[in-house]
Amino acid sequence: MARAGLTPERLVAAAAELADEAGLAQVTASAVARRFDVKAASLYSHIGGTDDLRTGVALLALREMADRVAEALAGRSGRDALAAFAGAYRDYARAHPGRYEAARLPLDHETAMASAGVRHSQLARAVLRGYDIAEPDQTHAVRLLGSVFHGYISLEAATGFSHTPVDSDTSWQWTLDRLDALLRSGSAG
Amino acid sequence: MARAGLTPERLVAAAAELADEAGLAQVTASAVARRFDVKAASLYSHIGGTDDLRTGVALLALREMADRVAEALAGRSGRDALAAFAGAYRDYARAHPGRYEAARLPLDHETAMASAGVRHSQLARAVLRGYDIAEPDQTHAVRLLGSVFHGYISLEAATGFSHTPVDSDTSWQWTLDRLDALLRSGSAG
DNA sequence: GTAGGTTTCCTACAGGGCTTAGGCAAATGC
DNA sequence: GCATTTGCCTAAGCCCTGTAGGAAACCTAC
């Protein structure tokens, strides 16, 4: 019988597609095996198991997001950079909800340190260079940016902010304006 | 043989404890049944299944959080109210991580509308009464509060913001200060 | 080109979890 | 005290995980 050509990379890529289509919970060894017309047991020479698959999706998502954010940020500063930064995350989450979900999985310290997660905080600091904020406020501000955007994106994904007549895009712009103002007054401490 | 005295409420309560101790993923019909020294099949006359159990935990968590937030808010306004509001959520999430996790489960529209989730936005609006913000900005501000606090709490839970020497409590206070200032200047925009 | 070794995928199996169906025993109500 | 209702049981089917060991495809080197 012809071989399916399984590799860790292809398995993780399939897992990522599955996550986006059906949710991270549907990413299982069985489901991924089905995508390759292969028995579930065949995956175990390539990956450790279901957890490995999900962690793989998380690492992939962190890399892809960092790439997109970096590209969005190129040549921008100030409010422009802030909007590009936030927009890149939001767009990614909407295009790849399962991957985004995976990116929030807890990673052990070692894996986290070797992941693209590190680039994310560097990118946030790049945005803040447009705002003249010194340490330790800069660290506070990095956390604030992460919190606001991750929070907004995940609440938007869960509820769609659909219970009121106010448009979510309008709230998003409003939030960016206010955050920009907040950071601009940031050097005051 | 003696009966175990199962009820939907007791099952959900046990599921909530389990969630806090071991994570929401460990909340299964089997695991809850073990807590009552009962076979898993016995649960099915009381609850619909595993999903029901988790949804039950979500609804419980929403109720408990709304109660605590309401209590924390009593008699406070302005920055005091803001800090009490945010602190109540953060404390709850730390005391009951599994319940907090469950509270973010997507609920169908009908269930969401009948849940205590509705009270949460009312409580956020109560905080904003101290800041003189009219619609539609008030809705934007409600979303901002939800985003910042939920985002902060979930990032804190996942990473502990432990990769840098800057204390998380300090960032939290800084965030509250800045948010207070932002809302105070809010009537302008 | 073909023999050996390696890799890839297979079948088989053990272990759990979910959930339904149907039965017996305990509680309840009359 | 007896009938009914309720609560928990066993049994069984299905799906997922992960391990072990086998067979076939691929590679290498003569």
Per-residue model confidence (pLDDT) at position A163: 73
Residue keyed to tokens 């929403």: B62
From residues 138-177 of A, which are strand C contacts by CB within 7 A?
Answer: none
**Per-residue pLDDT for B186 more than 80?**
no
Interface of A with B (CB under 8 A): 104, 106, 112-113, 121, 135-137, 139-140, 143-144, 146-152, 154-155, 158-159, 161, 163-164, 166, 168, 170-171, 174-175, 177-178, 181-182, 185-186
**Per-residue pLDDT for A187 more than 90?**
no
Contact A44, A137 (CB under 8 A): no
From chain B, the residues in CB contact with A146 under 8 A are 151, 155
**Per-residue pLDDT for B188 more than 60?**
no
Per-residue model confidence (pLDDT) at position B180: 97
Least confident of A7-16, A156-165, B96-105: A156-165
Rounded mean pLDDT, B61-87: 97
The whole-angstrom separation of Cα A74 and Cα A57 is 26
Contact B116, B63 (CB under 8 A): yes
Per-residue model confidence (pLDDT) at position B189: 42
Contact A132, A186 (CB under 8 A): yes
Query: What are the start-end ranges of the H helices in A50-96?
Result: 50-73, 78-95
**Model pLDDT for residues A16-74, shown as the tens digit of each residue:** 999 999 999 999 999 999 999 999 999 999 999 999 999 999 999 999 999 999 999 99
Contact A60, A24 (CB under 8 A): no
Q: State the pLDDT confidence band at A130, using cuts at 50, 70 and 90.
A: very high
The segment with the largest mean pLDDT, out of A74-83, A161-170, B1-10, B178-187, is A74-83
Q: Taking CB atoms and an 8 Å limit, are A136 and B170 in contact across chains?
A: yes
Q: What architecture is domain A8-188?
A: Orthogonal Bundle (1.10)
Between CA B92 and CA B97, with CA B96 as vertex, the angle to 5 degrees is 105
Per-residue model confidence (pLDDT) at position B1: 59
Per-residue model confidence (pLDDT) at position A75: 94
**Model pLDDT for residues A111-122, shown as the tens digit of each residue:** 999 999 999 999
Query: Shortest CA distance to A164 belongs to which of B161, B18, B43, B141?
Result: B141
**pLDDT over 90 percentage in chain B:** 89
Superfamily of domain B58-188: Tetracycline Repressor, domain 2 (1.10.357.10)
- Closest CB from B151, B168, B181 relative to A150: B151
* Joined tokens for residue A172: 């998003």
Q: Positive or negative CA dihedral for B9, B11, B12, B17?
A: positive
Domain boundaries, chain A: 8-188
**B48: phi then psi, degrees, rounded to nearest 5:** -70, -30
From chain A, the residues in CB contact with B23 under 8 A are none
Task: Tell me the CA–C1' distance in angstroms for A75 and C10.
Answer: 54
Query: Shortest CA distance to A63 belongs to which of A111, A132, A125, A130?
Result: A111
B109 touches strand D (CB under 7 A): no
Mutate to test the interface with A, among B115, B148, B164, B167 (most CBs of A within 10 A): B148
Residue A41 gets which letter from DSSP? G
